[in-house]
Amino acid sequence: MKIFNTFSGKKEKINLGERIGIYVCGITPDAPAHLGHAFLFVTYDTLIRYLRFLGAKVTYVQNVTDIDDDILIRSKKAGLSWEEMGNIQTKNYIKNMDALNVVRPDFYPKATENVGQMITIIKKLVAKKLAYTKNGSVLGPQSERRGPQSSVYFSVLKDKNFGKLSKYDYPAMLEIANERGNFPEDPIKNNPLDFVLWQAKKEGEPSWPSPWGNGRPGWHIECSVMSMRYLGPTITIHGGGSDLIFPHHEAEIAQSQNVTGKKFVKAWMHTAMVFCEGKKMSKSLGNMIFISDLIKKYSPNTIRILLLSHHYRNPWNFDEAELEKAEKIIATFKQALKGQALALAQHGKRPDLKYAQKYLPAFFKSLDDDFNTPAAIKVLEKAAKSKKPETKAAVILAASQIFGLNLS
């Protein structure tokens, strides 16, 4: 099996014979989950189902960024504490994922549960002189920068490999970072592109004790720590949306590899953005198609087929007419189920991996080639119309166990 590695720009083999550690950047629980989230997490859910179907030993970690600038801002507007906001939206997210038949991760850590380990990693970066401390908080007017607390920054110019994932030059990196939360005018930074590892406490914000005074971790260090805690210094596949390539994943590499001295990720796998009315689906634009609304009108099967009908690396625009096409595909699969497939299975010819590979070779060829789920769906559609019960049985097996469809 080959997956396109964002870092190398090539399709690379995944070794199915070794334990596969997969880390996917999870939600920031400050708003309901939308179709873009569903595309992201159904894609990785299906990938993990496929790897396990092939016999691979997979450990799946997905985090919750439960402390973040956005949570603090949105919870304040909603009149909730940041903990209440996080708990409510995390429960809603899990409920939506359960409804879409998404298998829960093996580990589902929250950032706030791992602050101690983050401090340990930051201390190592400071000791190696790759990070520096400065008095004052990271954001806010100068009047808020007084007190004994300090902030800690990663010095990007000391990492010669910084930028190799995104392949941006310095001006492009600075521009994109600024669009995604960087504060270049911060006068206590050595360089406008340096990113925060530890933020000094601000009035009214939650904080934790540290060697630099009370404060809270930066966004990037959270994922470095949680991934390494559960999967070790080297991850097989690191997933997330393509909008996280820079600065988030670039920063993760810098932090992690400079601490461990080992390659952080073997294969970077990024899903494309989902658009609505020609614009990226996002909280800031307010053009979201919420999962909770879709599942009132369409079955989880239909929504999964809609999502998997798009290759994970290709951006696409939501069109409700595609859900009608997805419903027809599900009807085709259910028609196959009504045939002789179950009778065949009940008479001692229970389908398994070898059985499915024998009768659906094109299906496996599609998924092995950079996880081409749209091509694999077309194979299943055609095979479901076959008159051979063996082929129909293979279709039902692949659709239910790999694509996560409930056809009963």
Average model confidence (pLDDT) across the chain: 92
Asked if pLDDT for residue 287 goes beyond 90, the answer is no
Note the pLDDT of residue 145: 39
Note the pLDDT of residue 180: 86
Delimit the domains of the chain by residue range. 10-271, 291-402
Asked if pLDDT for residue 185 goes beyond 90, the answer is no
Lowest mean per-residue pLDDT among 10-19, 121-130, 132-141, 377-386: 132-141
Note the pLDDT of residue 342: 59
Q: Read off the pLDDT of each residue in 56-71 and give the average, rounded to a whole number.
A: 95
Phi and psi dihedrals of 348, rounded to 5?
A: 90, 0
Q: How confident is the model at residue 231 (pLDDT cuts 50, 70, 90)?
A: very high
Note the pLDDT of residue 142: 41
Facing residues of 10 across strands? 5
Instruction: Determine the topology of domain 10-271 in CATH.
Output: Rossmann fold (3.40.50)
Note the pLDDT of residue 345: 59
**In this predicted model, which residue has the larger pLDDT, 350 or 333?**
333
Cβ(314)–Cβ(272) below 8 Å: yes
221 closest CA partner among 149, 151, 150: 151
pLDDT digits (tens, 9 = 90+) for 8-17: 999 999 999 9
**In this predicted model, which residue has the larger pLDDT, 141 or 360?**
360
226 closest CA partner among 19, 48, 24, 7: 24
Taking CB atoms within 8 Å and a gap of at least 24, the contacts of 199-202 are 199/137, 199/138, 199/139, 199/151, 200/135, 200/136, 200/137, 200/138, 200/147, 200/149, 200/150, 200/151, 201/137, 201/147, 201/149, 202/137, 202/139, 202/140, 202/144
271 closest CA partner among 87, 25, 20, 53: 25
pLDDT digits (tens, 9 = 90+) for 293-331: 999 999 999 999 999 999 999 999 999 999 999 999 999
Lowest mean per-residue pLDDT among 134-143, 262-271, 296-305, 386-395: 134-143
Note the pLDDT of residue 214: 94
pLDDT digits (tens, 9 = 90+) for 22-47: 999 999 999 999 999 999 999 999 99
DSSP 13-68: E--TTS-EEEEE----SSS--BHHHHHHHHHHHHHHHHHHHTT--EEEEE-B--S-
Note the pLDDT of residue 149: 84
Q: How confident is the model at residue 141 (pLDDT cuts 50, 70, 90)?
A: very low
Burial class (CB in 10 A: 0-12, 13-18, 19+), 302: buried
Query: What percent of the chain has a predicted confidence (pLDDT) above 70?
Result: 94
pTM exceeds 0.75: yes
Note the pLDDT of residue 339: 67
Note the pLDDT of residue 402: 97
